[in-house]
Amino acid sequence: MKLAFSTLGVPGMPVTDVLRLASAHGFHGVELRAHPEEPVHPGLGRSERVEVAELFRASGIELLTVAGYTRVASPGPDEPVIAELRELVDLARDLGAPYVRVFPGADAEQPAEDADATAARRLGTAAEDAADAGVRILLETHDSHRTGAAALRVLGLVGHRHVGALWDVMHTWLGGEQPSESFAALGPYLGYVQVKDIASATDTTPLPLGSGVLPLTECVDVLARQGWDGWLCWEYEKRWYEAARPLAAILGAGRDHLSRLLNESA
């Protein structure tokens, strides 16, 4: 398996510095948070996109994902949501990223069946653009659809190979799923896996990998037993927790921890 980290852990950091961190600590790729407060986002012009793509090519580090914030199950008209999806797909194509990350984002008042149908309809429409661009849209296990079983309800309705799943191990665990259950639901659709660690179900402050309660060993074991050979991406949510330790100070130890887990599961 290949290892990446998310720029959510280094908010606002220039791409050149991100790539230096990845190279210095032995990571193979980077997940770019695509938000207007970050250096890379859908508002970038053509020349800026070319520059970012060239920086990645020259570094030898892979651009794993354009991590967007579109909420595909949110209430309201389809057109603005589909337009956001297309902007993210276009950005991923221009930068050379294989994946776009989106959230479910249904409201608590929405019936589950309606939210599932809304998300599937929008993803199905955007899937054709993704196919033309050579990009895959990944629905993250998050918020209203935090378990693999919940995400599967949407993915099964879409039924398109350019729409898949991003397994965030924290959310499936918080949703009460065991790693084997999450993989059973998501495996046929799985793009990659986000790993992280936290203190408890009530304290999700990010911790160095291996120092919290999330079942990272079990997740890696499940993936290895199933012969899955994709990406593990460390999402350290420094952006939301200012008191958390700087990611740069713990990147090397995190990489070593993931390498140990992979070696032990081999």
Q: Taking the chain (266 residues) in consecutive chunks of 10 residues, what is each chunk's mean pLDDT?
A: 97 97 97 96 97 98 98 98 98 98 96 97 98 98 97 97 98 98 98 97 96 97 95 96 94 96 88
- Integer angstrom CA distances of residue 169 from 78, 90, 182, 183: 29, 28, 9, 10
Give me the number of domains the chain comprises. 1
Q: Is the pTM of this model over 0.75?
A: yes
The residue segments making up the domain with residue 162 are 2-265
pLDDT of residue 24: 97
Return the SS3 of 102.
strand
Question: pLDDT at position 254, please?
Answer: 97
Give the per-residue pLDDT at 265: 86
CA–CA gap between residue 87 and residue 216 (Å, rounded): 33
Q: Provide the CA 135 distance to its chain's centre, in angstroms.
A: 14
Give me the CATH number covering residue 66: 3.20.20.150
